[in-house]
Structure 1
Amino acid sequence: MSFPDFYGRMKRVLLHSAFWLIYLLQDTVLEFVWVGPALKNIPENVQFWMAFKAAIAAWIPKLVFTYFILYVTIPEFVKGSRKLFWTVLQATGAIVVTIIGYRLVFVYCINPVIYGGMLTARPVFHLLSILLAVMDIGFVCGVAFTLKLLRIQLTVREREKNLVREKLEAELKFLRHQTNPHFLFNTLNNIYALARKRSEHTAEVVMRLSKLLRFMLYESKSDLITVADELKILDDYIELEKMRYDRLTIHFQRDIDDSSRKIAPLLLLPFVENAFKHGASESRFDSFIRIRVQLQKGLLTFKIENTKENHTYEEIRDNIGLRNVRRQLELMYREYDLQLQNDPQVFSVKLYINLTSYAQV
């Protein structure tokens, strides 16, 4: 038996023991109050001890019936191994046998042995006594059944929650893995362009790409990285891209109060990729990319804008990178705001994230 199985069984045994202990104490108090007036000239401590023994004697048939219903009748009905008619018949037979046993315990054990015949003697099939037996047995069985249903519901809810979490984790991994090939494809295109020009920067670009890929393969697998590491990736990528453009001006402004704050990895890179791909690479004249990162008390503000040359207001269509970032933001942060603006000459992105609102998937 594995440790989790052993731990689960021990936990179940302790919970059942606690339930029955609490019930026995409650039943003892009721027995003490109910029978007390009939036990004259007997000290209260002796009365309470007698009530406790009576509660234990009456507890045995209730215990057998409760577990029979919980672990035989109901499971067979749920599995479909018995039809409703046979299930009702089985439960009816069990309650009849339990009531008879319950009354036999009272008539031949509790009254004559525990109370010494001081209670009014009643036959086994006394109508009022049978009704009281039905109420007593039904109460404890009903409470136990309700608790079992509650536990089953909580277990099902926890299982559903785990399935949802696993689904979201799988989706998040897919999004990140989809982003990495997209980045690699764009960068290889850059290297190809430099190689065609026989640029002296080709070897340096390959080296920088190697560093970025090493980060993506190992560091980006973590749920969170520091803001400093995220900005370092942006710096490396910008340096890699700058080698392709002569008439590009890049401004990168930072205002960081705590660079050790945690952020989801590679969350900002797609915006920078997008600025180069749809801005600088499509511009024939002087162009610019302006980036501003501000982090104050856990609130991250990221703004990036780039020039464009079509001079039209176009409907913003998300590419793979932007679409993936949107979905990652939905999965990972409860408080964020992403705004895209496509003006005639400038495309801009504004992203606000409360880094403390990270919702672990």
Structure 2
Amino acid sequence: MKPIGKSKLRIHLLFWILYYILEVYLDFYWSKYQFPDFKWQIRLQNTFMLELGYLLVKIPLAYSLLYVYEKVHIKTVFKYALYIGIVVIAVLGHRFFTHYIMYPYIYGVEETQDGKELSGYINGLVAFNSFMDLIFMVGLVFGVEITRQKNVLKDQFSQLKSEKLDQELTMLKAQINPHFLFNTLNNIYGMALKKADETPDVILQLSKIMRYNIYEAAEKNISIKKDIENIQDFIQIQKIRHHHLTINFNENIDNPSQEISPLILIQFVENAFKHGVSESLGEAFIHIDIQLKDGILRYCIENSKEDRSHEHSTKLGLKNIRRQLELLYPKHILSVEDKTDRYIVQLTINFNDTSSL
């Protein structure tokens, strides 16, 4: 977000430049009727000087009223009285500049209204014109400032919302199966006692998984190739515990560098092991199919289950995943089929849809 002070200064400076140009144009156009004998170069020069003089009245008026509006906290009746007092002083200053400086020193003539001397009635009319000129300007300044403040609040709200969502995502990612590490270490310990040849490979795979979860998963997005490699490492470690498990893993990726939020896809695999395969009494299976074509991801996991599976635990895991998908890919399509002997999960994400990035 841009610094508020600098942003405010730029906006107000631009406003006064545009306002000055507008007033110069209007007064220059009016002067050809008021002073038809003056050359246009003289009229333009006089108009520039005239509007600069008026800014000496208008700018203090605008920011005095803004200051009272934003900073002065008094009873409403006294606040209105202060507004009126500031406007009256500004009108008198406007009239003084017009009558005693503009006409005699800039235009070189006495101020009149339609050729008439400024009588009491005409003086009141001219003062009213000055009042309307100033009020018009004040309205523009307040409109610009209120709009700017609303935009600042909108940006701050968006930033806070984004930070809140980031924190929520971080919290949700941290809820991924906390027992995986401990179970794997126990298995490695058992393998080490047996002096199994696979022990170094398992340690290496665990190291890769931990590096991914600690460092790479902290990124907002990562290549789908790395995400799939992490899933494959996870599966290899799980095979140590599930000797009678049949796993079919199929991938067809046309763009390995396609970015995806890390730790989304693996959660479905974790659920398949935790709430399906680990509770199966017979031959367990997991079928995983990952297809990415033309920016559209189709991800399907099918795993065995027993009727005694803890459905409540499964729903908690899916609730976590659904929330992450809602935050990251609002237009995703997720279907979960809970059949008698298996779960079938299908996820579709369209990476071409910018609203889901």
Q: Normalising to structure 1: TM-score of the pair?
A: 0.87
- Which of 256, 281, 291 does residue 259 from structure 1 map onto? 256
Secondary structure at the counterpart of residue 175 of structure 2? helix
Deviation string 1:8-40 (CA, Å, 9 cap, x unpaired) is: 655544433332222222222222233322323
Secondary structure at the counterpart of residue 241 of structure 2? coil
Note if contact 1:38-1:118 (Cα within 8 Å) is conserved in structure 2.
no
Secondary structure at the counterpart of residue 122 of structure 1? coil
Provide closer, same or farther for how the CA distance between residues 275 and 21 of structure 1 changes in structure 2, counting only shifts above 3 A: closer
- 1:115 to 2:110 alignment: no
Shift of 1:140: 0.6
- What fraction of aligned residue pairs are identical, expressed as a percent? 33
- Which of 87, 96, 99 does residue 104 from structure 1 map onto? 96
Distance in 2, matches of 1:264 and 1:47, equals 65
* More moved, 122-131 vs 200-209: 200-209
Report the equivalent of 2:131. 134
Note if contact 1:230-1:265 (Cα within 8 Å) is conserved in structure 2.
yes
Distance in 2, matches of 1:189 and 1:319, equals 28
Amino acid in structure 2 at the alignment position of 1:69: L
Distance in 1, matches of 2:287 and 2:9, equals 65
Distance in 2, matches of 1:336 and 1:44, equals 66
- Which of 303, 308, 315 does residue 306 from structure 1 map onto? 303
Report the equivalent of 2:286. 289
Provide closer, same or farther for how the CA distance between residues 152 and 106 of structure 1 changes in structure 2, counting only shifts above 3 A: same
Report the equivalent of 2:56. 60
Note if contact 2:330-2:356 (Cα within 8 Å) is conserved in structure 1.
no
Provide closer, same or farther for how the CA distance between residues 185 and 271 of structure 1 changes in structure 2, counting only shifts above 3 A: farther
Q: How many residues align?
A: 350
Equivalence map 1:163-312=2 (5 Å):
163-179=160-176, 181-184=178-181, 187=184, 200=196, 204-310=201-307
Secondary structure at the counterpart of residue 350 of structure 1? strand
- Which of 10, 23, 38 does residue 27 from structure 1 map onto? 23
* More moved, 83-92 vs 319-328: 319-328
Note if contact 1:332-1:359 (Cα within 8 Å) is conserved in structure 2.
no
Distance in 1, matches of 2:200 and 2:38, equals 101
Shift of 1:327: 1.2
Deviation string 1:39-80 (CA, Å, 9 cap, x unpaired) is: 23221221222222222223321221111111x211224xx3
- Which of 62, 73, 77 does residue 85 from structure 1 map onto? 77
Note if contact 1:292-1:302 (Cα within 8 Å) is conserved in structure 2.
yes
Shift of 1:169: 0.7
Amino acid in structure 2 at the alignment position of 1:75: E
Shift of 1:300: 0.7
Shift of 1:307: 1.5
- Which of 61, 73, 88 does residue 68 from structure 2 map onto? 73
Amino acid in structure 1 at the alignment position of 2:59: L
Report the equivalent of 1:47. 43
Amino acid in structure 2 at the alignment position of 1:228: K
Distance in 1, matches of 2:84 and 2:59, equals 16
Shift of 1:189: 6.7
* More moved, 322-331 vs 143-152: 322-331
Distance in 2, matches of 1:152 and 1:318, equals 47
Distance in 1, matches of 2:342 and 2:7, equals 63
Unpaired runs of 5+ residues, structure 2, are none
Distance in 1, matches of 2:250 and 2:154, equals 47
Distance in 2, matches of 1:65 and 1:129, equals 19
Deviation string 1:90-142 (CA, Å, 9 cap, x unpaired) is: 11111111111111111111111111115415268811101101110001111
* More moved, 13-22 vs 302-311: 13-22
Distance in 1, matches of 2:165 and 2:276, equals 33
Report the equivalent of 1:17. 13
Secondary structure at the counterpart of residue 117 of structure 1? coil
Deviation string 1:186-233 (CA, Å, 9 cap, x unpaired) is: 5457668x5799683566544432331122111111111111111111
Distance in 2, matches of 1:35 and 1:16, equals 28
